[in-house]
């Protein structure tokens, strides 16, 4: 049975698109046929991070409005055989999204894919509400700072009340927490909320923290999902997150300050 997974948050700039790309790529690497959809109509960044911007011919809105078929719009990743991208339109307004049209696209995708990852725009406007409406699972992405956490709390409330599952009285959307841009040194210095603090405030299952890393930006600029980048702690963290999402018991990493060895302390590096 296929699952629709929305990657969402209240605040912009927390790493939703990076997370969507990383999670989708990791699911595909783990053997699941996966498609990731960009719902950020008018901006469209997912194709850049996935490295397929030059291959976009048709997009989500073309499919919804009958201007192209779903097969024409889907872009197959060149690195992982069972990973596909459905890009957003860069020239239209979010009002062109219709719930009926999105529902038809999702139903078509359910016939072929095990995981349908929806990259939601920030906030609570139409694109975000449309992205979450049909979700079975939700990955709430937040930075460890109070305004981001507060906005995420509002999104959690909407996932409990504004989805198809909520309207039809079905089992609620399974909601999970991912903390991005985490820096244990700053937590230790009191400049950043700890993962424990965030978990206590939001009270949803914790999938893991992604450490702050310059390699995330470098991978995005190169069109590579961070889970496909070499020697990257952030990519390792996302694989841990996906494995926990799939039900594996994986020890938590990247939450504590790394203790320096003798030579590091001696030479000050």
What are the pLDDT digits (tens) for 12-34?
A: 889 999 999 999 999 999 999 99
Token pair, residue 46, equals 């997912």
250 CB-contact burial (10 Å; exposed 0-12 / middle 13-18 / buried 19+): middle
Q: Angle formed by the axes of helices 16-29 and 233-245, to 10°? A: 70
Which among 26, 38, 30 has a CA at the least distance from the CA of 227? 26
Which three-class secondary structure state does DSSP give residue 181?
strand
pLDDT at 75: 98
Q: What's the whole-number average pLDDT of the chain?
A: 93
β-pair type (137-142, 174-182): parallel
pLDDT at 260: 57
pLDDT at residue 268 above 60?
no
Each residue of 123-153: pLDDT tens digit?
Answer: 778 889 999 999 999 999 999 999 999 999 9
Residue 239 to residue 228: CA distance in whole angstroms: 10
pLDDT at 261: 52
pLDDT at residue 247 above 60?
yes
pLDDT at residue 191 above 50?
yes
Of the pLDDT bands very low, low, confident and very high (cuts 50, 70, 90), residue 111 is very high
Residue 55 to residue 246: CA distance in whole angstroms: 31
When pLDDT is averaged across residues 40-48 and rounded to a whole number, the result is: 88
pLDDT at residue 108 above 80?
yes
User: What's the pTM value of the predicted model, to 2 decimals?
Assistant: 0.93
Residue 253 to residue 7: CA distance in whole angstroms: 22
pLDDT at 90: 81
pLDDT at residue 262 above 60?
no
Of the pLDDT bands very low, low, confident and very high (cuts 50, 70, 90), residue 269 is very low
pLDDT at 92: 77
Percent of the chain with pLDDT over 90: 84
When pLDDT is averaged across residues 65-77 and rounded to a whole number, the result is: 96
pLDDT at 97: 87
Lowest-pLDDT choice from 99-108, 155-164, 224-233, 260-269: 260-269
Q: Give φ, ψ of 208 to 5 degrees.
A: 145, 170
Residue 128 to residue 43: CA distance in whole angstroms: 13
DSSP string computed for 44-71: --HHHHTT-GGG--S-HHHHHTTSS-HH
When pLDDT is averaged across residues 260-264 and rounded to a whole number, the result is: 50
């Amino acid at each position: 049975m296929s699952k629709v997974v929305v990657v969402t948050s209240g605040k912009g700039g927390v790493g939703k698109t990076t997370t969507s790309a990383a999670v989708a790529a990791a699911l595909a690497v783990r053997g699941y046929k996966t498609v990731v959809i960009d719902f950020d109509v008018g901006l469209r960044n997912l194709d850049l991070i996935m490295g397929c911007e030059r291959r976009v011919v048709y997009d989500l809105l073309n499919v919804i409005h009958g201007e192209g078929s779903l097969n024409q719009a889907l872009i197959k990743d060149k690195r992982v055989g069972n990973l596909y991208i459905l890009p957003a339109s860069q020239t239209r307004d979010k009002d062109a999204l219709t719930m009926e049209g999105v529902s038809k696209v999702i139903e078509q995708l359910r016939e072929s894919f095990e995981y349908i990852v929806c990259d939601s725009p920030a906030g609570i406007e139409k694109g975000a509400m449309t992205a979450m409406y049909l979700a079975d699972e939700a990955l709430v992405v937040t930075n460890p700072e109070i305004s981001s956490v507060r906005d995420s709390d509002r999104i959690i409330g909407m996932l409990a009340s504004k989805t198809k599952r909520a309207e039809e009285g079905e089992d609620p959307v399974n909601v999970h927490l991912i903390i991005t841009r985490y820096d244990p040194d700053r937590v230790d210095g009191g400049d950043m909320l700890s993962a424990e603090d965030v978990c206590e405030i939001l009270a949803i299952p914790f999938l893991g923290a992604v450490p702050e890393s310059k390699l995330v930006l470098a991978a995005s600029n190169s069109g590579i999902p961070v889970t496909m980048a070499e020697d990257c702690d952030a990519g390792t963290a996302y694989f841990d997150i996906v494995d926990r999402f799939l039900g594996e018991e994986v020890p938590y990493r990247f939450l504590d300050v790394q203790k320096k060895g003798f030579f590091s302390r001696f030479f000050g590096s």
